[in-house]
Every structure is written in structure tokens, then in C-alpha cells.
């Protein structure tokens, strides 16, 4: 009967240990549109061709920057993955969170400790009821104890703590993916900004040469009496203004070169890029449907995982209202002589459960529970806001690409017209038909249009990168470490 009662007691403990208090987690609801308001063309420059992403589309998987077809950009992006210090920090944070899973999971097992000791105790001769006539009234004591303590997880506190640590690890893994995506996108944008500065510098170099020729022309005409000195002054001013712009653009280029150096983990003094004007075109980017964005953006995944973690914290706070059951055991040997310490008669042991219930804590548990619920509500709102921001970023860059594609064609036409106007104005001035003011206006207009064309291309490239980033860069929640693998 004693064995039967013990088995029944252990069965009851096992059943109770399977209980878990607190709410069951359900992902917060998100309102998602059926399609994006701003839908991208399948290939830019071909109006009217619209196509959502298909499961077979692989353009944005893995190394998404390779879609731009620039070998130098590809090489720089690879260095970000290896050498960027912000990325190394994010990876270390992930390893730290993963280690905490093991720390919390240790509570699922008993704690066993051993503490051998040796002592000699001499009692006072004046101890009550002690025979003072005994000359040797001290005793040696050698103890070799083994202590065991274990908390029976009656209400799921330990299990929820482990689950919360796993969900935080998944969130940190998504943070790492977010950092990687952001840093790679930042490098791509800085690279295109630098190359657009190279293109502007090339335009300004050519402009300075053209203005120098025009200045020489006005001097020749002035010396021949065909033009007034004011034409010379105007041509010289125009030339010097172009030289200032040509010099100024190098400041911006230097800043982007330094930024790229830091992104790839190098001091700016040890890095340089040879000039090469931007001559790329935005790649065709398949856009996923809005519902897929929840699975493809790592920042959204991180926010959702932290909502799940907050749900576990509510259960942990709830479990504090219930008693805790601990099992404690001790065994070992004790003797006054070390030579026979491990003999059978010197064995000792003790075992027994301990049930503890807090009767009064001044409202601490109630406050903890309220705080857990408030944290859950805050993280739920953050998750929904992160999702809304994701939708906005996709829409913004879809619209930018669609509008800038049309604007680029308009600008190409405007630049061609400005080139023609400048040629006609120069010829008319050379022939003595127009004054030099017409040439200056045509020169200014032509330079402005050429620089605008480069700027629109830069904005299109930047919008392409930002659209890829807004759609997660090909990342997917399946890349999060599975909870079962986190130990």
C-alpha cells in the first residue's frame, strides 16, 4: 500500500506539472489589403505591363544586390557580411540570447551540489550538563554531503520562462537579419550616391572645358571688335561658377567613399574607389502581395516574436499566485574519523517536499501581472505599427519607381532639347545674330538638365534598393531558428 500511495502521489504531481496557467498565444490580427495601391511594372520603361511576384521568382533570394549587375558593388557587399562591426554586434547579441535559453532551461532539471567539509570542534568546559572532568572534550567532524533541490513546474512557470527565452532568441535572430538587410541596403545606396557624384563630376568636367572654349571665343571676338567686354566678363563668370560646382561635388563624393569604408570595416584612410560614372538601370523587381510582407520582413517577425514572449510573461506573472512545490534531498556520510568516512554506518540521508504559498506581498504580484499585460498591449501595438510602416515603405517606393520611370523619359527629352538649344545659341552668337546672354541661358539650362538626368537615375536606383529592403530582401520567417533547436 505504501508503494501504491507513492505511485499515486507521483502521478498526481506529474499531472499537476503538466498544467500551465495564463493565456494561450494567438498572433495579433492585422488588416492587410488584397493588393498594393502602387503596383510596379514588370520591367521599367514598358508601361502597362503589371505582374505580382510568383513563387518561382528568385531575383531577391540571398544576395539580392547581384540583381544590379555591378561586380564592384557585389565585392563590397561581400565585405559587409564579413567585416562590418555593427553586424558582428548583432550576431553576438543573437548568441547571447541563445545562451539564455540554456540558462533558463536548466530550471527544468534538479540542482545537485556537493560540499565536503572537515572541522574540529572543542566545546567549552562550562557547557551546561557537560562533564567537566573529561579532559578531551572535543570531537572531529568529517562530512561529505550531496544536496538535491528541484522545483516541480506545477503551473508552467519554468516552461513559460524557457519558451519566452526561445521567442526572444527568435526575435534576436530576426534583429540580426534586419541589421544585415539595413547595412547591405545602406552600402548599396551609398555606392549609387558615389557613382552619381562621379557622373556629375564627369558632366562638370566636360562643362568646364566647354565653358573654357566659350570664354576663349568671347575673348577672340572682343579682340576683333565683334563683341563687348561684357561678353568676356559673363563668359568668365560662367566658367568660374562651373569650376566651383565641379570642385564642390568632390566633397559629397568623399563623404560617401568614407561611409562605404566604414561599412566594410575599414578606416577611410585605407580605402578608395576609382571614379566610374553611374550608368546602371534599375532591375525589374517582383513585388509580393501584402499578406506575404508579414512573412518576409525580419523587423515584423521580430516584433511578432516579442508579442509572443510578452504573452509568456503574463503566464509567468499569473503562476506567482499559486503555490510552488519543491523537492529537496540530501545524502552523504559523516564521521569523526576520515579513515572510515565512507563506511555504511556513517551514511545519512534526508528527503521531503516543500510547498510554499505567498499569503501577503503588498500587491507585488498584482502589479507584476498588470505590468505584464501592459507590456503585451504595447508590443502588440508596436507589431501592428511596424506592419503598417512596412506597407507604407513598399507603397512609397513602388510609387517612386513608377513615377520616376516616366520622369526619366521626360528628362531625357528635355536634355536633348537643351543640347540642341545650346548648339543653336552658340552658332547664332558666333555668327553675330544673338548676344552672349542667350548663350549663358542655354548653357545654364543644358547643365541643369544634364545634372537632373543623373539625379533622377540616382533616385531610381535608391528607390530600387529601398523597395527590396521594404520587401525583406528575399528573407523569410522560415530562416528563423526553430524553437526545438534552441537549447
What is the structure's pLDDT at 57? 43
* CA gap 438, 428 in Å, rounded: 9
For residue 61, CA distances in Å to 58, 65, 285, 473 come to: 5, 10, 12, 7
pLDDT of residue 126: 55
CA separation, residue 175 to residues 82, 91, 161, 210, 387 (Å): 17, 9, 21, 52, 15
DSSP 34: S
Residue 380 DSSP SS3: helix
Task: Report the pLDDT averaged over residues 160-171.
Answer: 94
Mean pLDDT of 125-133: 53
* Contact (CB, 8 A) for 393 and 181: no
Q: What is the pLDDT of residue 130?
A: 45
Instruction: Evaluate whether residue 4 is within a structural domain.
Output: no
% of the chain exceeding 70 in pLDDT: 87
Q: Please check the confidence at residue 441 and state whether its pLDDT lies above 90.
A: yes
Distance CA 222, CA 203 (A): 28
C-alpha cell at 432: 553675330
CATH of the domain at 160: 1.20.1600.10
pLDDT for the residue 363: 93
Q: Provide φ and ψ at 281, rounded to 5°.
A: -130, 145
In a domain, 339, yes or no: no
Q: Which residue has the cell 520562462?
A: 161
pLDDT tens digits, residue range 178-188? 999 999 999 99
pLDDT tops 60 at residue 4: no
pLDDT of residue 253: 96
- Determine contact, residues 212/93, Cβ cutoff 8 Å: no
117 pLDDT more than 60? yes
Q: What is the pLDDT of residue 58?
A: 46
Q: Determine the structural domain holding residue 226 and report its residue range.
A: 27-109+155-321+364-485
Most confident of 105-109, 223-227, 321-325: 321-325
In a domain, 450, yes or no: yes
Instruction: Judge whether 307 and 313 are in contact, CB under 8 Å.
Output: no
In this prediction, residue 314 carries a pLDDT of 96
pLDDT for 11 equals 45
Q: Contact, 65 vs 73, CB < 8 A?
A: yes
- The rounded distance, in Å, linking the Cα atoms of 6 and 8 is 5
Per-residue pLDDT at 52 exceeds 90: no
Residues 45, 283 contacting (CB under 8 angstroms): no
Q: What is the mean pLDDT of residues 352-362?
A: 90
**Reported confidence tier of residue 7, pLDDT bands at 50, 70, 90:** very low
Tell me: the pLDDT tens digits for 249-276? 999 999 999 999 999 999 999 999 999 9
| Beta strand extents in 160-308 (DSSP E only) | none
* More confidently predicted of 358 and 289: 358
Q: Is residue 18 part of a domain?
A: no
Q: Report the alpha-carbon distance of residue 462 to residue 456 in Å, rounded.
A: 10
pLDDT at residue 160, rounded to an integer: 93
Lowest mean pLDDT across 129-138, 205-214, 429-438, 460-469: 129-138
Which comes out higher in pLDDT, residue 342 or 300? 300
pLDDT confidence tier of residue 82, bands split at 50, 70 and 90:
very high
- Average pLDDT, rounded, for the chain: 86
Has residue 313 been placed in a domain?
A: yes
- For residues 149 and 326, the answer to whether their CB atoms sit within 8 Å is yes
* pLDDT computed for residue 55 by the predictor: 41
Cell of 312: 509568456
Please tell me the predicted confidence (pLDDT) of residue 54.
Answer: 45
Residue 305 pLDDT level (bands cut at 50, 70, 90): very high
Q: 183: which residues sit within 8 A by CB, 6+ positions away?
A: 80, 84, 86, 87, 263
Number of domains in the chain: 1
Domain-located, residue 197: yes
Closest CA to 16 of 334, 298, 355, 312: 355
Q: What is the pLDDT of residue 112?
A: 87
Q: Residue 427 — very low, low, confident or very high, per pLDDT cuts 50/70/90?
A: very high
Domain annotation covers residue 389: yes
Tell me the whole-structure pTM to 2 decimals.
Answer: 0.84
Quick: pLDDT tens for 366-424: 999 999 999 999 999 999 999 999 999 999 999 999 999 999 999 999 999 999 999 99
Beta bridge partners of 334: 143
As given in the structure block, the three cell numbers for residue 322 are: 499559486
Residue 43 has pLDDT above 60, yes or no: no
Q: With respect to residue 5, please indicate whether it lies within any of the assigned structural domains.
A: no
**Would you list the DSSP string of 64-105?**
GGGGG--HHHHHHHHHHHHH-HHHHHHHHHHHHHHHHHHHHH
Residue 260, burial from CB neighbour count under 10 angstroms (0-12, 13-18, 19+): buried
Contacts of 18 (CB under 8 A, 6+ apart): none
Cell numbers standing for residue 89: 554586434
What pLDDT does 303 receive? 96
Amino acid at each position: 500500500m505504501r508503494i501504491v500511495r507513492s505511485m499515486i502521489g507521483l502521478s498526481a504531481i506529474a499531472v499537476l506539472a503538466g498544467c500551465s496557467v495564463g493565456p494561450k498565444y494567438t498572433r495579433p490580427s492585422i488588416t492587410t489589403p488584397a493588393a498594393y495601391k502602387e503596383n510596379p511594372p514588370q520591367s521599367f520603361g514598358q508601361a502597362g505591363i503589371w505582374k505580382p511576384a510568383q513563387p518561382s521568382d528568385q531575383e531577391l533570394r540571398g544576395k539580392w544586390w547581384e540583381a544590379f549587375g555591378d561586380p564592384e558593388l557585389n565585392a563590397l557587399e561581400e565585405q559587409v557580411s564579413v567585416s562590418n562591426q555593427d553586424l558582428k554586434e548583432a550576431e553576438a547579441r543573437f548568441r547571447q540570447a541563445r545562451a539564455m535559453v540554456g540558462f533558463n532551461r536548466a530550471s527544468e532539471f534538479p540542482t545537485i551540489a556537493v560540499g565536503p567539509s572537515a572541522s574540529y570542534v572543542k566545546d567549552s568546559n562550562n557547557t551546561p550538563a557537560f562533564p567537566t572532568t573529561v579532559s578531551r572534550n572535543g570531537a572531529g567532524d568529517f562530512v561529505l554531503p550531496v544536496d538535491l533541490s528541484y522545483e516541480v513546474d506545477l503551473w508552467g512557470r519554468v516552461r513559460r520562462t524557457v519558451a519566452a527565452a526561445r521567442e526572444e532568441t527568435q526575435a534576436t535572430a530576426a534583429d540580426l537579419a534586419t541589421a544585415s538587410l539595413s547595412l547591405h541596403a545602406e552600402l548599396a545606396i551609398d555606392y549609387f550616391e558615389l557613382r552619381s557624384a562621379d557622373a556629375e563630376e564627369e558632366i562638370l568636367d566636360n562643362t568646364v572645358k566647354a565653358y573654357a572654349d566659350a570664354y576663349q571665343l568671347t575673348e577672340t571676338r572682343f579682340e576683333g571688335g565683334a563683341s563687348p567686354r561684357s561678353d568676356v566678363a559673363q563668359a568668365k563668370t560662367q566658367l568660374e561658377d562651373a569650376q566651383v560646382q565641379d570642385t564642390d561635388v568632390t566633397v559629397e563624393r568623399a563623404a560617401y567613399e568614407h561611409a562605404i569604408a566604414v561599412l566594410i570595416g575599414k578606416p577611410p584612410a585605407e580605402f578608395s574607389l576609382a571614379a566610374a560614372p553611374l550608368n546602371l538601370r534599375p532591375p525589374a523587381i517582383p513585388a509580393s502581395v501584402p499578406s506575404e510582407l508579414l512573412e518576409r520582413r525580419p523587423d515584423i517577425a521580430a516584433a511578432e516574436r516579442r508579442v509572443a514572449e510578452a504573452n509568456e510573461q503574463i503566464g509567468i506573472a499569473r503562476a506567482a499566485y499559486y503555490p510552488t512545490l519543491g523537492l529537496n534531498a540530501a545524502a552523504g556520510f559523516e564521521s569523526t574519523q576520515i579513515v572510515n568516512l565512507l563506511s555504511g554506518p556513517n551514511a545519512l540521508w534526508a528527503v521531503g517536499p516543500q510547498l510554499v504559498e505567498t499569503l501577503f506581498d503588498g500587491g507585488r504580484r498584482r502589479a507584476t501581472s498588470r505590468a505584464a499585460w501592459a507590456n503585451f498591449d504595447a508590443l502588440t501595438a508596436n507589431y501592428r505599427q511596424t506592419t503598417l510602416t512596412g506597407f507604407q515603405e513598399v507603397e512609397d517606393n513602388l510609387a517612386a519607381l513608377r513615377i520616376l520611370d516616366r520622369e526619366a523619359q521626360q528628362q531625357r527629352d528635355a536634355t536633348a532639347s537643351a543640347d540642341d538649344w545650346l548648339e543653336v545659341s552658340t552658332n547664332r552668337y558666333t555668327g553675330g545674330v544673338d548676344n552672349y546672354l542667350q548663350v549663358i541661358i542655354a548653357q545654364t539650362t543644358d547643365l541643369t538638365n544634364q545634372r537632373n538626368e543623373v539625379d533622377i537615375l540616382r533616385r531610381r536606383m535608391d528607390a530600387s534598393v529601398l523597395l527590396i529592403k521594404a520587401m525583406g530582401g528575399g528573407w523569410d520567417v522560415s530562416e528563423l531558428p526553430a524553437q526545438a533547436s534552441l537549447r
